[in-house]
Structure 1
């Protein structure tokens, strides 16, 4: 119970900060998103490349900072070019410094989420960007909460004990159901239709976020560590907390771009008709 209380308090504080930045948008949201991406990058290096060249770590911070500056000065539609250039330059520098493919993977992991969040949130005078990010948070956070309580209450067969011994099928289903309920609530409050679209998106994001959770568990098990760090009381590291969000944000970003283009991807599913 003490651990649960600690987890809840930490989640409430962090959630309040992130939600406030999301509501404000603009430079504040970009700063918070960049801070999260940089912490994820730092933890990735510590977990996956603990004996790597420290210059690789600094290069990651530098190029993530360039992506942040790009978000402030270039149009939303040009952000993929900024991201592609930063990734290419980092990959070349990483290979020169013998950083290896794992360093590049970590930069893609942290930076991909950063670009996805910034592009989804930016929608000009429209509120579609705000709704898109709130929808994303609702789907992912409710998946975590639903999976946690359903798994503890119902138990049952495990999904993949070799990677994550505590995750059950009942937890996965509970997380998916909770995600659909939360997503429908966001759609209803935003006055959006049709409701089946909210359910479909929620199912996809819930499933992808759970895959992201397994991915991070696999990375940590490969490295022989339990938590990516101890920065968040009751949760471990930032990477532990946003593993599902990283995958879900990138998935929603890609789906939105395919449906609506680069300039305002959030209009694809979250613009009022």
Structure 2
């Protein structure tokens, strides 16, 4: 009798929890999507066809398509993901109420790719072109942070010249209560660059008291385990030998995904 009652209880629990978790929507194949808070609601942003970004509301209705003005001969790059640092923002680069997107464009030459970095708003207007010098290329590395000493927001970008010399540029960003709140909120998440990664994944140290980064494949198998110093601001992990695909990297209780090319 007790066994029958226990089995009935297990079946009831399974039914109850199964009813709570249901598939609500499936995006198109290959449509990487980022979720971004928009007031009391949320929006979804993804790369559309060609040089476009799709914006969906919380009911999964397409409300706007952003046409990004990428130069001729360049390939549009936009990798929306909650793991990507400040891919979709609202107040960090401008003080208006429009969504902002960090995008890039890649031009393949006979020797190496040349990449440009832009911030474009939801009307398809370029707010900032960070790579106007034709003799330099963006490396895929950028970081946004708040300087408490000067109470200013900053962005640091790593570029490379035609002689493969790396150099970094620091920009001052608009500093408001809204932009600071957005930066602090994002700062609680793990972030890494470049995404997708080819040879090296650079992870920003979350300073959460743990000094080991572990990478898992999508089967849950541990493929990388690397220790780092508590004072290291950035952890560089060699991922060159990993097969192409999606991976999970974890530091303490914080985790995020990245793509290996």
TM-score bracket relative to the smaller structure: under 0.3
Please identify which structure carries the higher strand content: 2
Name which one, 1 or 2, has greater alpha-carbon Rg.
2
Normalising by structure 2, we get a TM-score of 0.25
Structure with the larger helix share: 1
* TM-score, with length taken from structure 1: 0.24
